């Protein structure tokens, strides 16, 4: 008997292992489990299309792509219900601009089809008509901007007249500027702003008659009795409101009267000298001076500070019960690109609507560098800011038209924003850059108006 060589023995052993493996699989090719693809973010997004992308799946021969116009995939894009695709991406064209689309994908191997991938949502970009502006795109509410009397010419003038239907004085219609001493008024800056608006057919929102931070020293140190103090405040309000009667459509009568966190009334000189009901008295003074002007209460952190929000709405409810005149609320909304959440803003706004008051987003700016981690405005952060501006416009646009008063951006160009000095760091919170060029934020605002 001939002996097998060592190599022959090894070869027989290897073959036997292979045969055992093949015969012992216990099933057919049809039974293996095909993994689902991972859908990736869309790329090349334009106003008329995008590219859908997904990961490769082991043993997949092709893929089935679904594209829909609703998140539940009940309305499919024509030709994109289980469309067979051999690549790992698909260019989708002939779409509408500023519309949300959704896609998902499955892997195919023979007769085996995987589960659906995750869902991807995207919105095609918006290409405005060159003649479109913010103000001519809004039929629901006024589009406002805060400004200074020294900046009513050049690029400022061009943009104000082109883009905005309402103006708010940043600080020159406050008491310390208009009434600097007990025996004098200075209406020069305020008159310049009001006259400019009148000449150009632009609305004026008055800001603000009573604010603890704009109180002149002579008021803080007023030597008369409490009744004389109250008479003095009534005289000041009457003088200012009467001067601009028929020219200023609305006033922030009292600004920021409640403390942060506690919701208590600030212990301002007005409260000390006129009592806890000083706010109601001021609103009555304004109404007596101008029966037609709209009266607003204005404050910050009206979304994030629940205690303050509760205090403000308690005051409003008390005014309504006592027939104290008030027409609307101003939410300052000095917010961030990632905060607060849309649902929280909507909930606060709904409380205004429930009371049948006017809603003014009165001092909107959106910080993109709250953690001071940027030295220049990045593309990602710019797009996040764009989305937040669009969101804010859409929130105001979604409420009943009779409740939507205005959306006022607090400043025109980034480098002049009050936030830079206030926080001591760089930021880019507005619609126009330092060269007066439109930013992504501008187009997000414009998209929200469509």
Pairwise CA distance, residues 446 & 128, whole Å: 8
Pairwise CA distance, residues 217 & 389, whole Å: 38
Pairwise CA distance, residues 364 & 362, whole Å: 6
How far from 148 is each of 215, 224, 410, 435, CA to CA, in Å? 19, 34, 11, 18
- What are the tokens at 278? 């000083």
How far from 338 is each of 370, 385, 425, CA to CA, in Å? 10, 8, 18
Residue 129's CB is within 10 A of a number of other CB atoms, namely: 8
Please say if 437 is a catalytic residue. no
Which residues on adjacent β-strands are paired with residue 207?
A: 252
Rg, Å, the chain Cα set: 31
Q: Using an 8 Å Cβ cutoff, are 273 and 222 in contact? A: yes
Please say if 363 is a catalytic residue. yes
User: Looking at 170, 230, 256, 447, which residue is catalytic?
Assistant: 256
Pairwise CA distance, residues 317 & 37, whole Å: 55
Residue 228's CB is within 10 A of a number of other CB atoms, namely: 12
CA of residue 284 relative to chain centroid, distance: 33
DSSP symbols for 401-436: GGGEEEEEES-SBGGG-HHHHHHTS----SSB-TTS
Q: Is the peptide bond before 340 cis (omega within 30 degrees of 0)?
A: yes
What is the total residue count of the chain? 450
Nearest of 44, 183, 56 to residue 109 by alpha carbon? 56
User: Looking at 90, 230, 234, 363, which residue is catalytic?
Assistant: 363
CA of residue 131 relative to chain centroid, distance: 24
> How many angstroms separate the first and last alpha carbons of the chain?
94
Nearest of 115, 49, 43, 54 to residue 85 by alpha carbon? 54
Q: Using an 8 Å Cβ cutoff, are 434 and 424 in contact? A: no
Q: Is 337 helix (H, G, I), strand (E, B) or coil?
A: coil
Catalytic residues: 256, 363
């Amino acid at each position: 008997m001939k002996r097998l060589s060592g190599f022959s023995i090894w070869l027989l052993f290897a073959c036997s292992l292979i045969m055992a493996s093949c015969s012992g699989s216990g099933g057919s090719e049809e039974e293996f489990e095909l993994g689902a693809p991972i859908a990736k973010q869309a790329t090349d997004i334009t106003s008329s299309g995008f590219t859908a992308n997904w990961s490769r799946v082991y043993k997949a021969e092709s893929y089935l792509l679904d594209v829909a116009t609703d998140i539940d995939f009940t309305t499919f894009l024509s030709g994109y219900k289980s469309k067979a695709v051999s690549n790992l991406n698909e260019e989708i064209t002939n779409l509408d601009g500023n519309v949300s689309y959704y896609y998902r994908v499955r892997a195919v191997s023979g007769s085996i089809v995987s589960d659906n991938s995750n869902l991807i949502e995207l919105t095609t970009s918006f290409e405005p008509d060159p003649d479109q502006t913010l103000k001519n795109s809004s039929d629901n509410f006024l589009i406002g901007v805060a400004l200074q009397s020294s900046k009513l010419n050049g690029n400022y003038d061009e943009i104000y007249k082109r883009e905005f239907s309402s103006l708010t004085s940043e600080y020159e219609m406050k008491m310390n500027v208009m009434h600097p001493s007990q025996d004098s008024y200075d209406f020069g800056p305020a008159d310049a702003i009001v006259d400019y608006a009148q000449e150009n057919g632009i609305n004026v929102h008055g800001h603000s008659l009573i604010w603890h931070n704009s109180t002149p020293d002579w008021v803080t140190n007023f030597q008369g009795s409490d009744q004389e103090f109250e008479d003095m405040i009534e005289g000041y309000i009457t003088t200012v409101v009467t001067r601009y009667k028929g020219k200023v459509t609305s006033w922030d009568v009292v600004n920021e009267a409640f403390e942060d966190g506690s919701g208590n009334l600030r212990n301002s000189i007005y409260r000390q000298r006129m009592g806890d009901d000083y706010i109601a008295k001021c609103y009555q003074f304004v109404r007596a001076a101008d029966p037609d002007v709209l009266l607003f209460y204005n404050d910050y952190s009206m979304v994030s500070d629940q205690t303050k929000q509760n205090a403000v709405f308690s005051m409003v409810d008390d005014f309504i019960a006592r027939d104290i005149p008030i027409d609307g609320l101003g939410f300052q909304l000095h917010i961030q690109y990632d905060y607060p959440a849309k649902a929280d803003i909507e909930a606060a706004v709904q409380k205004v609507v429930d009371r049948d008051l006017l809603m003014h987003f009165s001092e909107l700016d959106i910080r993109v560098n709250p953690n001071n981690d940027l030295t220049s405005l990045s593309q990602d952060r710019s797009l996040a800011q764009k989305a937040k501006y669009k969101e804010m416009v859409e929130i105001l646009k979604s409420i009943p038209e009779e409740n939507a008063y205005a959306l006022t951006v607090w400043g025109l160009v980034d480098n002049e924003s009050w936030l830079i000095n206030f926080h001591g760091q760089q930021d880019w919170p507005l619609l126009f850059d330092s060269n007066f060029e439109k930013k992504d934020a501008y187009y997000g605002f414009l998209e929200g108006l469509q």
